[in-house]
Amino acid sequence: MSNLNLLAFTYGSNDTRAEIEFRPVFPEAIRGDSDQIDEWARTLLASMYKDLKHTDNWTCEICGDPARDAKYDIAIRTHLPTPDIVLYIHSICEEGNNLCTKTLQVQSDHMASLGGLSPGFMDRNRLKPASKPFPLSGSCLNCQEDNTVNSTPSRCGGCKLVRYCSTECQSADWKRHKKICKVIKSVKWADDRARLFGDRRNLAQQVQASAV
């Protein structure tokens, strides 16, 4: 088994962000085969779709409404001795032909034109009930009920990434989630508080300068 550098960045509105570092290994047999590593990585990421989405009360990067979906852009460099993959997860109110989807598409087309980004994916295997919108990103990973957003879901103690509304939901999902849980190495959260402090520092400097 060989190593792979895999990082994911999740973005929401107001500069909210999470940085997720993974420690995946890929079968030694496919080392050096860019196409197979690419395929292997995409399959792995597709299996994590839910785990990467239900991680916080994300809001749409464009309009700021609660996010119900995520758009994935991938930068894959599989020809390196240690292949390198970066996943960009953009929180979006709802996938569809709306202004937010179009804006994010323009953004990723621009990134792709600068090089390095290969076509991203959205989970095509989701079953969307005709009567219901997709579950909120902030809801419990297991039951995915919208009302669990307000019931202070707690994080998995292993990966410190995904959230559940109850220990029952966590137990019910463990058999599936544990494979993903063990490849998550670390999670860093950044939010607009950092930015606010930055702005405040600037403001403080201005105030200080004007007082001199």
| Residue (30 or 63) nearer to Zn ion, CB | 63
Taking the least distance from each CB to Zn ion, the nearer of 4 and 156 is: 156
Q: How far is the CB of 107 from Zn ion (least distance, A)?
A: 13
Judge contact between 195 and 203, C-beta under 8 A.
no
Q: Is 104 in the site for Zn ion (CB under 5 A)?
A: no
Residue 163 and residue 55 in contact, taking contact as beta carbons nearer than 8 Å: yes
Shortest gap between Cβ of 71 and Zn ion (angstroms)? 11
CB of 11 to Zn ion, least distance (A): 13
Q: How far apart are CA 40 and CA 33, in angstroms?
A: 11
* Residue among 30 and 189 whose Cβ is closer to Zn ion: 189
Total of chain residues touching Zn ion, rule CB under 5 A: 14
Strands 84-92 and 5-11: parallel
Give 3's contacts (C-beta < 8 A, 6+ positions apart): 23, 24, 25, 82
Does position 67 interact with Zn ion (CB under 5 A)? The reply is: no
DSSP states along 113-153: HTSSEEEEE--TT----TTSPPPPTTS-TTT--GGGGGS--
Q: Is 169 in the site for Zn ion (CB under 5 A)?
A: yes
60 binds Zn ion (CB under 5 A): yes
What is the number of other CB atoms lying within 10 angstroms of the CB of residue 137?
27
Say how many C-beta atoms besides its own lie within 10 A of residue 98's C-beta: 14
- 76/159 with CB nearer Zn ion: 159
Q: Which of 100, 104, 117, 149 binds Zn ion (CB under 5 A)?
A: 100
Nearer to Zn ion, 45 or 100 (CB): 100
d(CA 114, CA 89): 18
30 vs 143, beta carbon nearer Zn ion: 143
Q: Which stretch binds Zn ion (CB under 5 A): 24-32, 38-46, 69-77, 167-175?
A: 167-175
Binders of Zn ion among 15-54, rule CB under 5 A? none
Task: Find the binder of Zn ion among 7, 111, 143, 187 (CB under 5 A).
Answer: 143
Q: Specify the stretch interacting with Zn ion by CB under 5 A; choose among 15-23, 26-34, 61-69, 112-120.
A: 61-69
- Nearby residues of 127 by Cβ (< 8 Å), 6 or more positions away: none
For residue 163, the minimal CB distance to Zn ion (Å) is 9
